[in-house]
Amino acid sequence: MKQTSTRHPKTHRPNTLRLTLTTAILAALSPMVVAADAAPAAAAADPQAASPDQGKNAANAAAKDTQSLEGIVVTGTATAGGVKKLDASFIITSANAEQIKQANPKSTADLLKISPGIWPESSGGQTGANIEIAGFPGGGDAPFFTMMVQGTPLYGMSSLSFMDSSSLVRLDDTVDRVEIIQTGPGVLYGAGQMGATANFILKQGTSEPSGSIAVTYGDEGMYRVDGFFGGKLAEGWYGSIGGFWRQSDGVRSPQFKADDGYQLTGTLTHDLDNGSVMLWARTLQDKNQFMVPTPLIEDAHGNFSKYPGFDALTDTYGSRAIQNVQLINPAGGYESANLANGRGANMNFFGGNFDTEWNGWQISDKFVWSGGNLNTNALFSGPNPKPLGDFVYGCNWSGAAASGFCDSTGSITDGNTFNLPLSTNVNTSGFPLSQSIITQGWWFIQKDLRNLNNDFRVSKEIFDGNTLTAGVYLAHYTDDDNWSLGNPMLMTNTPNAQPIPLSYQQGGNTYYLTNPQGIYYNSGPGYSYNIVEHGTGNNKAFYLADSWRLWDRWLLDVGSRVENISVNQRTCNQKNVNLDGNQYTLYDNAAQICDGTYTTLHYDKTHPSFTAGLNYEIADNMSAYLRVSSGGHFNDFDNGIRGSNGDFSPMQKIRNFEYGFKYQSDWAYLDIVGYHRQFTGLTYGATDNNNVPLDCSGTPTATSGKAQCTAIFGADTKGVNFHGVFTPFENFKVDTLVAYQDGHYSHQNGYATLTDINNKPFQVSFNGQPLQRQPKLRYFITPSYKFVINDDFNIMPFVTYTHVGQRYQDQTGQQPLGKYDTWDFGIVANYGKNWQFRLQGTNLTNEIGLTEGNARVAGVANGPGGILLARSIEGREINLQAKYQF
């Protein structure tokens, strides 16, 4: 069995890495260039490929004009040349490099907030975000979101357990702009994502050398250097290189570096007589703390406040004392894990775009290879905190009744206890029984990813005003995983927690309830899940799209895609063993490891997608459109395939109906969309309200003798997205976003059985409950004013007010997360042609804003005293940057 190393490779010396990137790009480029140069000349322009040619520069300028209906967008379009926003009959948001900075994103995922209808829960840190799309019931990871660079998805599946595609990208000065689309033509091209897709388009070299170097300091102890340089290498050849290096103690300091790493990106572009070819390469080496929910107090009115001694905005359980641990290796024995390695990335990418025209045919090809490790070293929440005495002795302890964890009969109300007799004299390592403690899962996931995909398409105008496009998308990818999950660690319920080892003496022998680091694996309350798995996937898709300008102002586009996925997955079977052979080390006497056998599954599915849009250009400055689309979401290695025993979960499907209006004048830019989304494919084990299992006819299984039904339900959502930019007078601008949705679960027959905070089953119907963790109303407003002091000096201050409405933790709708409001700000000063200074800050008022509750329990999640485990946004953070541009 191949084991993935937990060590992050040493930082490459910049000169060595630059040479490696350049050599790889040149080697891969040369055969493509020879073939392309031999083709007949024709006029073609790709706004994604910068060049000194005047026409291409104009196309690039149009693409960067992100708040103009004359601006060009290339994502979700059939041809490389893209379409004007005025003609785009789908939801699309775009932002250039300056607008990205002004959005004050805390992470790559957090930038998605600029697209109304997308709700990124970025409170977990730089990586591992949950990304919610209006009308798409998610609740974890990001299955309905795909990240692309240069129009190419970075992995063959949109999401896996412990991998959302936003974790594969970091924001830096190599990004020229981003385009974000929702539903619509996204079901046709590339990965065929039926939810949302973000496409990051890179800066490239131009005929005039340009670049920048920036130094940033953040008040959380963050130091960062950004750089970019691009220019002409030879006639028709252009190159660029750039990236960042950053270290940070974190707003929530874990006593080691919360963020530590770099990203380096290089591009090479060659202009052809009839098109262009562009290659890019990137290495990402980053380590990022993953934030676990912390304790808060919820009152009877659903308001949240800080837990005594624990700041929900700035504190974390992470500490040096729990940083380095020994965990069960699923292959047998133990392995080392380091919390400082966090939920980071050790990934490399190599991709390219080739666009040309030959004899009236437009030809486009995009590819990317990616490979590396995306490991997770992190804490994950468990039961609510309680006194140590309650945890060790249960209701046998004299203080248990006062703690609220014992009922009137003296029985424990939850299962989070060893429940030992009081006569057992447990050594608590000097901690009193009154000490507030918590058990956190110390999880270690080693994930080795490999991917190669290619999107090839040809387009031809078959008659005046009608262009037909045909394409093929192919993807081959693998995933090798080693999981050590569970591993409950007993620790103090304090910032920068301390582990609590437990042992006791009996019959002249010492029995160890936990190891010296407070971990008890699966010998007590809690669980472990340890596996080794390997997955291989292949996707094949064919799509056909037609764009027809019916009359002067009417544009119809219709497209269909048929995709097949074929997956082979092998997961080890498990057994419980006494891992160290010592009967007195109770913590590993029933350790779960692989037993040497495997369960192999083959998943094969084919599904069509469809979209059609009709756009009417009312005037040169306004348009309206209608669109319908349908798409499907395949199962992935970790969700719907592994553990299914061949009874695979059904595909999740969407039907989307939307209508939009765009308008622009000297004083306003408006983009308004209404939609109706019907989702199906969610599953649950059917029971009645007495927890009696039912078959698919609604008959108790004990009566029918049939298996319990895996029933299907869905969701129905209507909503409105609004984006407006108002410029009532020169230099003053107000940027406004409003997202409203009314989404509910539907079509559930019977009841589902879930487990509550006290580890007790309960029955619930999801019908009519709001989609979990999605705000019904979210909006922000950003006014800014540019003060022009003189020709060489201007200052632009701006402030952003954001409102996030009520959300609920899970499908039951029983645990509210509340609503909150935040204030962010920025001041940008430009001096001369070269210098820029930027002061920006987030959450200035230190607002507690919950994005996630305790994902390990269902229903009401607060316990005695209103204590709740939940994850808030971070507290106030301010940074200052000085940049030199040339």
CATH T-level assignment (fold) for domain 14-384+441-885: Maltoporin; Chain A (2.40.170)
Whether the CB-CB separation of 856 and 758 falls below 8 Å is answered with no
Q: What is the DSSP string of 111-127?
A: GGGGSTTEEEE-TT-SS
Whether the CB-CB separation of 203 and 210 falls below 8 Å is answered with no
Ranges of residues in the chain whose predicted pLDDT is under 70: 1-65, 523-526
Residue 830 CA to residue 790 CA, distance in Å, equals 11
pLDDT score recorded for residue 686 = 84
The neighbour count for residue 802, using CB atoms within 10 Å, is 21
Residue 147 CA to residue 195 CA, distance in Å, equals 11
Residue 191 CA to residue 368 CA, distance in Å, equals 12
The neighbour count for residue 817, using CB atoms within 10 Å, is 25
Q: Choose among 539, 532, 439: nearest CA to 492.
A: 439
pLDDT score recorded for residue 32 = 34
> What is the Cβ-side half-sphere exposure of residue 531, based on CA atoms within 13 angstroms?
17
Domain ranges for the chain, please list them.
14-384+441-885
Residue 720 CA to residue 730 CA, distance in Å, equals 30
User: Which H, E and C letters describe 408-467, residue by residue?
Assistant: CCCCECCCCCCCCCCCCCEECCCCCCCCEEEEEEEEEEEEEEEEEEEEEEEEEEEECCEE
Q: Choose among 475, 453, 375: nearest CA to 160.
A: 375
pLDDT score recorded for residue 18 = 38
Place of tokens 């990022």: 288
DSSP-derived pairing of the beta strands 345-358 and 361-373: antiparallel
Whether the CB-CB separation of 752 and 684 falls below 8 Å is answered with yes
Q: Choose among 605, 544, 607, 596: nearest CA to 571.
A: 596
Whether the CB-CB separation of 614 and 625 falls below 8 Å is answered with yes
Average pLDDT, the chain: 91
In this structure, the chain runs to a length of 886
Residue 92 CA to residue 723 CA, distance in Å, equals 11
Q: Which run of H or E residues covers position 569?
A: strand 554-577
The one-letter amino acid at 685: G
pLDDT score recorded for residue 37 = 38
- Sequence-ordered strand ranges (E) for 464-551: 466-485, 488-492, 503-506, 509-512, 529-551
Indicate the pTM of the whole model.
0.91
pLDDT score recorded for residue 759 = 82
Torsion angle of C-alpha atoms 529, 754, 633, 638, degrees rounded to 10: 0
Whether the CB-CB separation of 680 and 747 falls below 8 Å is answered with yes
Name the DSSP letter for residue 79.
S
- Two tokens, residue 836: 């820029």
- Two tokens, residue 92: 């699309």
Residue 450 CA to residue 369 CA, distance in Å, equals 8
Whether the CB-CB separation of 724 and 736 falls below 8 Å is answered with yes
Q: What is the DSSP string of 259-328?
A: EEEEEEEEEEEEEETTEEEEEEEEEEEEEEPPPPPEEEEE-TTS-EEEBTTB-TTT--S--GGGTEEEEE
Residue 211 CA to residue 207 CA, distance in Å, equals 12
Place of tokens 């190393």: 5
What are the b/e assignments for 718-750, b being 16+ CB within 10 Å?
Answer: bbbbbbbbebeeeeebbbbbbbbbebbbbbbeb
Residue 404 CA to residue 412 CA, distance in Å, equals 9
Torsion angle of C-alpha atoms 266, 96, 151, 19, degrees rounded to 10: 0
First-to-last alpha carbon distance for the chain, in angstroms, is 51
Output the CA torsion sign for 420, 440, 8, 321.
Answer: negative
